[in-house]
């Protein structure tokens, strides 16, 4: 795994394949391992350290600086579900109420919710209220939606409503607008103020 640090590139020792890197208090947390990825952390000048071994593996990773927690996808009871891990407290939360496979986890800016999508006839976006445990629908349309990222009151997401190719849309105060057109968008990242968008 190669990581770009400031203006130079360094390689994490002993890691051939790392995914979903996030910065947490001077450490890089990432997922690595086959066939069941697990959670590691690494600081420059040290060796990678296994932080968490989940029986269902860990897939995808999102960090909330507001509550110092990691959201991820794991497998339980034959389906994939969202989960939250608090590294400082060693506490876990699992959302077991869902009946379909989940993916695309991300935190709300305040850390109170975890956004995720549920697969089915159409893929829709939901959020998990970490205080009450409730699952709340955010966006349900005849199209497929993925990857909600909330920034500065704006909810960015992918939808295949435009000719079957995923494009970036934004929902603000109940109004939905299409941001990109043309080539299909695989991933994206809004700037902290929500004014700019990186797409790939």
Residue 162, pLDDT score = 67
3-state secondary structure of 12: coil
- Output the furthest CA–CA distance in the chain (Å, rounded): 50
Residue 75 phi/psi, 5-degree rounding, is -105, 125
pLDDT digits (tens, 9 = 90+) for 127-170: 999 999 999 998 888 888 888 889 888 898 888 876 778 888 89
Could you list the pLDDT tens digit for every one of the 200 residues in the chain?
Answer: 545 555 455 666 666 666 778 888 888 888 888 888 888 888 888 888 888 888 888 888 898 988 889 899 998 888 888 999 888 777 788 888 888 889 889 999 999 999 998 887 678 889 999 999 999 998 888 888 888 889 888 898 888 876 778 888 898 888 889 888 888 888 888 888 888 888 88
Query: pTM to 2 decimals?
Result: 0.81
For residue 45, give both structure tokens: 């000048």
The Cα–Cα gap between 158 and 188 comes to: 9
Ramachandran bin of 194, using left for φ above 0, alpha for ψ from -120 to 50, beta for the remaining angles: left
List all residues 6 or more positions away from 48 whose beta carbon is below 8 Å from its beta carbon. Answer: 12, 13, 14, 15, 32, 40, 41, 42
Residue 57, pLDDT score = 83
- Domains (ranges, CATH) in the chain? 17-199 (2.120.10.30)
């Amino acid at each position: 795994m190669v990581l770009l640090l400031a203006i130079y590139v360094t390689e994490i020792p002993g890691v051939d394949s790392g995914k979903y890197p996030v910065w947490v208090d001077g450490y890089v947390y990432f997922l690595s391992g086959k066939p069941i990825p697990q959670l590691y952390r690494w600081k420059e000048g040290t060796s990678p350290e296994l932080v968490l071994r989940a029986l269902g593996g860990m897939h995808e990773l999102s960090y909330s600086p507001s509550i110092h927690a990691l959201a991820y996808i794991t497998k339980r009871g034959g389906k994939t579900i969202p989960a939250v891990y608090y590294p400082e407290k060693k506490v876990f939360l699992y959302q077991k109420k869902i009946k379909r496979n989940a993916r695309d986890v991300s935190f709300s800016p305040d850390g109170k919710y975890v956004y995720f999508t549920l697969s089915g006839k159409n893929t829709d976006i939901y959020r998990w209220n970490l205080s009450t445990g409730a699952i709340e629908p955010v966006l349900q349309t005849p199209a497929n939606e993925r990857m909600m990222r909330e920034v500065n009151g704006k909810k960015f997401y992918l939808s295949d409503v435009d000719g079957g190719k995923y494009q970036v849309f934004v929902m603000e105060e109940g109004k939905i607008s299409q941001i990109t057109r043309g080539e299909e968008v695989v991933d994206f990242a809004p700037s902290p103020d929500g004014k700019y968008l990186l797409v790939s």
